[in-house]
Amino acid sequence: MSLATPAPSPTPAAPVFATPVDLPKPPGLTWRVQSREPVGYDVHVVRGLLDPANPALARACGADGQTPTRCLVVVDDKVHTLYGDRVRAYLDAWRVESFWKVLPGDEAAKELESAVEVTEAMTAMGLLRRTEKIVAIGGGVVLDVAGFAASLYRRGVPYVRVPTTLLGQIDAGIGVKTGVNHGTHKNRLGTYYAPETALMDPEFLATVEPRHIVNGLAEIIKMALVKDATLFGLLEATVTGAGPQSLAAGGPVATEVISRSIAGMLDELEPNLWEQVLERSVDYGHTFSPSLELRADPPLLHGEAVAVDMAICVALAHHRGLLSAEDADRALRLMHTAGLPLTHPVFTTDLLEEALRDAVKHRDGLQRMPLTDGIGRVRFVNDLTRDELDRARAFVRQRAGALGTAEDAKDTDLLAVAS
């Protein structure tokens, strides 16, 4: 048979597209775009940051003292009152023309509207997109709001962080997360957006209220529990000896505690900046606390809510045989002696369960719950039950009762457990 003239088929003609496999490919072309953005930023502890002889802040603003430069200072209101004149004098000395946006600190101000106001201040000064910087000076609230605004404005303008609280210096000021609260949800709207530089001057801590020093100490205790047994021992000695406020006074022990805490935190954050891995030891104390922090009335500070969460985690680890009775006691005692709450009446087992469900969504379908595996190490679990939460809550209430905190004594459930 000739190849040129095929013979007619002996069978009746079949429909042309009888099965889906016969369907023709849709016309079109496909491109795949892949890119990587390197991230690099410096974290410095610098004393005397506002001394005009110290070039660190000027350099971070891109100033050399010769060529006029401009920046937008986004500053916490209390910091503005206490340090505003010195910041202005410093920037003037370095020929930096400064524009100012003063924002209230404290959690209630951490809202979308504040971030929008910061972007409006950028428009008002006519911020140049690449060369002129935002300098955020304040606690975690102002840093998170200013960083969020910087990440949104023209899809990202450079910013510098100057944290002025203990919590800011060991945590909020050194990572890449920004955000604002929304509804009853902490940091529900946010971005990953690295600063160019973070400059920590421990001298700012001298004016921070005692309760806010203890608030920052909670996050230091977290780092000690999950990563650094030596830091834990150092904290026990400091808190029972010189007291938590000694961390604000400078000195070699305070420097050691703060620098160990920063180093531990950066060590955990660096390989996982965008949280691709959702098993994060630094999430310790941050499973139940987001639900508690905005519901408590009067409000709890971030670190206080983290402490109540950590106390539950200590009990959970103890009941799973991961933490000895002695170490569980040391952990709860350290938090209590530091002045942190261990329980809160809002924390019912129902709320714990609800918070865990929300954390499961945040952690993409699994609990990924960090628990201490001895002091200074963590392991992750995915099978916590309501009964365990209930038992953990009762355990903490009992221990808190024995330690005798004022809040715990007010708690009627605690009295029931204790009797």
Ligand X SMILES: NC(=O)c1ccc[n+]([C@@H]2O[C@H](COP(=O)([O-])OP(=O)(O)OC[C@H]3O[C@@H](n4cnc5c(N)ncnc54)[C@H](O)[C@@H]3O)[C@@H](O)[C@H]2O)c1
Residue 177 a catalytic site member:
yes
Which tokens is 139 given? 């606690």
Contact 335, 232 (CB under 8 A): no
Q: How many CB atoms lie within 10 A of CB 45?
A: 15
Question: Cα(159)–Cα(147) distance, rounded to whole angstroms?
Answer: 7
Among 91, 141, 342, 371, binds ligand X (CB under 6 A): 141
175 binds ligand X (CB under 6 A): yes
Among 80, 101, 161, 212, binds ligand X (CB under 6 A): 212
Min. distance of Cβ 29 from ligand X in angstroms?
Answer: 42
Question: Cα(91)–Cα(93) distance, rounded to whole angstroms?
Answer: 5
195 binds ligand X (CB under 6 A): no
Among 103, 149, 208, 389, binds ligand X (CB under 6 A): 208
Among 69, 119, 151, 215, binds ligand X (CB under 6 A): 215
Q: Which residues pair with 160 in a beta bridge?
A: 135, 197
User: Which one, of 297, 296, 291, 283, lies nearest residue 185 by Cα?
Assistant: 291
Nearer to ligand X, 79 or 313 (CB): 79
Among 69, 119, 151, 165, binds ligand X (CB under 6 A): 165
Nearer to ligand X, 143 or 235 (CB): 143
- The residue whose two tokens read 């000694």 is 246
76 binds ligand X (CB under 6 A): yes
Q: Point out which span in 74-82, 254-262, 308-316, 363-371 binds ligand X (CB under 6 A).
A: 74-82
222 binds ligand X (CB under 6 A): no
Among 159, 204, 288, 347, binds ligand X (CB under 6 A): 204
144 binds ligand X (CB under 6 A): yes
106, HSE (Cβ side, Cα atoms, 13 Å): 8
For residue 365, report the phi and psi dihedrals to the nearest 5 degrees.
100, -10
Among 51, 106, 275, 329, binds ligand X (CB under 6 A): 106
Question: Cα(314)–Cα(395) distance, rounded to whole angstroms?
Answer: 10
Contact 151, 122 (CB under 8 A): no
Q: Which residues pair with 99 in a beta bridge?
A: 72
Strand order in the sheet with 133-138: 42-45, 197-200, 159-163, 133-138, 69-76, 96-103
Question: Cα(319)–Cα(388) distance, rounded to whole angstroms?
Answer: 8
| Positions in 274-313 near ligand X (CB under 6 A) | 302
139 binds ligand X (CB under 6 A): yes
Catalytic residue among 177, 186, 222, 227, which?
A: 177
Binding positions for ligand X, rule: CB under 6 A = 76, 78-79, 82, 105-107, 110, 138-142, 144, 164-165, 167-168, 171-172, 175, 177, 186-187, 204, 207-208, 212, 215, 302
The residues that are catalytic are 177
